[in-house]
Each structure stands twice: as C-alpha cells, then as structure tokens.
Structure 1
Amino acid sequence: MVARFGQPDDGHTAETRRQVKENDSMESRLWTIVRFPAGVWSGGGKPSDSDYEECEVYRIPADSLEKAKKKAQSIRARLVKKGSDLPTQNEPYKAD
C-alpha cells in the first residue's frame, strides 16, 4: 500500500487505529466488589473495610467498576447453582 496524505501505511483505517489505541490504554485493575445482605452490590473500598463485615466480598480484575460488578454477579450465580459457600470478608473470592 502507498501512504497518502501523511497517513500511516499499516493497512488499517483511522477507526481501527483508534480502537486499538483505546484497547491498549485500558488498564485492568483489581476491584473489591461486595454484596450486602439486602442484595445491593457495591464496590471500590478495601476488602477489610468495616462496612463489609456482613457482606460477600469478591476481588475481581476488570477495566471498570461496572464490569467487575457483572463478573462478581456471574461468579455468585455459579456458586449458588453449585451450592458452594459464598465468600466472606475473612475469605473473599479472588478471581484470576
């Protein structure tokens, strides 16, 4: 391919280059996600936070808080379906 008008000669459109750049800039971080006894999901604090004493606690790697909540909800559904013990503050679920 011939580069035209100063455009990179990488075979990608401007849209594709933008998407690749956005994906490269997204950083996954480890989120603390909790489910309170009333069924409300929250996150962002430390697993040892005293507010979470009665909560199910999940440690989930994700790009955003919302994605981490969805992953934790999915994990919880599988644990409930299997009849497994749910995570606690003393023994949080740690996703890979």
Structure 2
Amino acid sequence: MDLEFSGEVWHWRGPSPFHFVTVPEDECAALRSAAALVTYGWGMIPVAVRLGGTTWTTSLFPKDGGYVVPLKDRVRKAEGIDLGDTVTLRLTVAA
C-alpha cells in the first residue's frame, strides 16, 4: 500500500522529544484496514517514508484514533525542515 499526503510538522516534548506529522483521516482509514496484517504490536505499522530526496524506514505510531509519522532529526536537517513547516510524505506500508 502506497499513500501520499501533506501535513504540518509538530513537536512532542515527552521524555523522548520527537517531531511528527499527523496522517490525515482518509489515509488513516486505509491504514486501519491493513493494520491487522502488518502491525507488530501496540498498533505500530512499519513503513518506508520518502520526504523530498530522503527515504527511511520507521513505524507509524497510533495516536488519538489515527496515526503519526515520526521525523528523524537527520531527515529534518537533510531536507531543511523546521517546526510548523508543511511537508509532503510518501508512505509504503511494509508487508
């Protein structure tokens, strides 16, 4: 399954601070249908992500009935991404 969407970069200041992009509801509905086939626990969904010229693997985190994409610091730096920027992500759900 491949998905593409845009969203705003936000910061979570928990014990492990991280930057995320929230997956829009339409794409979350598609992900929910595939989740049972690919999740490895706690609702995490393994994906390959492309942002600009950078590709990496991560897992979508379930949050508030939807999903969020974690953005690694190295990706943000490589692509010149700041808090509050709107970015376009392409996700490929790993089988």
Specify if TM > 0.5: no
TM-score (norm 2): 0.26
Based on CA coordinates, which of the two structures has the bigger radius of gyration?
A: 1
TM-score (norm 1): 0.26
Structure number having the greater helix percentage: 1
